Amino acid sequence: MWTACAGPRDPVGPGGAPRGSALYQYSVIDALLAGVFDGDLTCGALKRHGDFGIGAFNQLDGELVLYQGVVYRIRFDGSVHEVSDDQRVPNAFATVFAPTQTIALPAGATLQDLQAELARRLRPSAAYAIEVRGPFAAMTARAPEPAKPPYPELAAHLAAHPHTFELTATHGVGIGFWLPAYLARVNIPGLHLHYLADDHKRGGHVLGFRGDGRLEVRVMELSGVNIELSRRPELDQIDLRRDRQRDTQRVETGDRRPAGE
């Protein structure tokens, strides 16, 4: 396991601001972007590192949400399923969530409004766990269709098999992380959220939303980032030197244009 920016847990950071647990991460985002869609970490092992997190499943079979200690799979048809501990993942992130501050967003707030508010309030060099709860008038979410070997790159697979859901009048929680730019080669910089409806019937990777009433944003500054490196042989067959930031942007925003456009 490789550790970055982490040390013994200290409830108060150097500047006096409270902070929480470290972020545990399995594998790196560039491997997933390159098409390494299988991993050896089980959901049971992931839960030992926290009660709050996001990720993907082997074969890219759905979006992963870890919420209040339970792992859910959101499939490409938008359905939500609790999964067993033996299910494996290629890439996942988890922490013990104990929020230290709350931000209120007014009615009608959008994903862009949330991003702007976080950029205004949070330290650009720090990492945070983020929870967004409330009623949403509209929520645009996505989940991937399972891939078949030989796996394509992630952006190409999502462009070829788009599964986007337009949810309305939904109440639930968006969970994820806000990470600094210097982690771009190992994780997703900025805000990365997955949504889970309170009735556990719908969800997905968040592409956009509009609040329907007040949204409550709970924030925890992370004390560090601990990365467990995947030992899958596929990692030795991909180019991990390539800059994949454009691929990251396409994946996060739902851009389905071919690479290079």
What phi and psi, each to the nearest 5 degrees, are found at residue 25? -135, 135
- Does residue 82 register a pLDDT over 50? yes
Q: Establish if 25 belongs to a structural domain.
A: yes
Predicted pLDDT at 1: 46
Q: Establish if 258 belongs to a structural domain.
A: no
How confident is the model over 100-144, as pLDDT tens digits? 999 999 999 999 999 999 999 999 999 999 999 999 999 999 999
Q: Compute the average pLDDT of residues 78-97.
A: 98
Q: Which of 89, 59, 142, 252 is nearest to 71 (CA)?
A: 89
Q: Which of 132, 155, 99 is nearest to 208 (CA)?
A: 132
DSSP of 32-50: HHTT-----EEHHHHHTT-
pTM for this prediction: 0.91
Q: Establish if 146 belongs to a structural domain.
A: yes
Predicted pLDDT at 13: 53
How confident is the model over 27-48, as pLDDT tens digits? 999 999 999 999 999 999 999 9
Q: Establish if 169 belongs to a structural domain.
A: yes
Count CA atoms within 13 Å of residue 84 on its CB side. 2
Domain region containing 135:
2-253
CATH of the domain at 33: 3.30.1330.80
Q: Establish if 261 belongs to a structural domain.
A: no
**CA–CA gap between residue 206 and residue 200 (Å, rounded):** 15
Split into its structural domains, the chain has a count of 1
Q: Establish if 154 belongs to a structural domain.
A: yes
